[in-house]
Amino acid sequence: MIHDWTLPALLKHGYSIEQVKQWRTEQDKAGKPSTMDDFLRAHGFCVNCRAAGRHISGIHWQDSSGVEHNIELIARGVPESIASLHQRELKYALQWDFTYATCEIWGGTGKLA
């Protein structure tokens, strides 16, 4: 499965969805590991950030009163998932979005130098 943020990262690095699918199909037919993680590793990309150079670190939103809120997903006491956070907080938000942090692996490039 290609995550929403992986495809733009792979395009930035010069790989199309067709190239990824072809590689995975060839690997599978050869009886070799062919998951998306296998593709990333084989092409020198960071599995942690999915080649994007960043990862989701939190969520920010504005409530109906106009008050800004932020929750870092790696902080203590944070819900286990974005879905539980949505159920608890975001269903009342006018608009919400993710916040991102630079992946520390390979300096935020998403690819081995």
Distance of CA 83 to the CA centre of its chain: 15
Residue type present at position 60: H
Query: Residue 44's pLDDT is what?
Result: 95
pTM for the whole thing?
0.72
* Closest alpha carbon to 90 in 100, 79, 77, 75: 79
- Reported as a single tens digit per residue, the pLDDT across 30-89 is 999 999 999 999 999 999 889 999 988 888 888 778 888 888 876 666 655 666 766 766
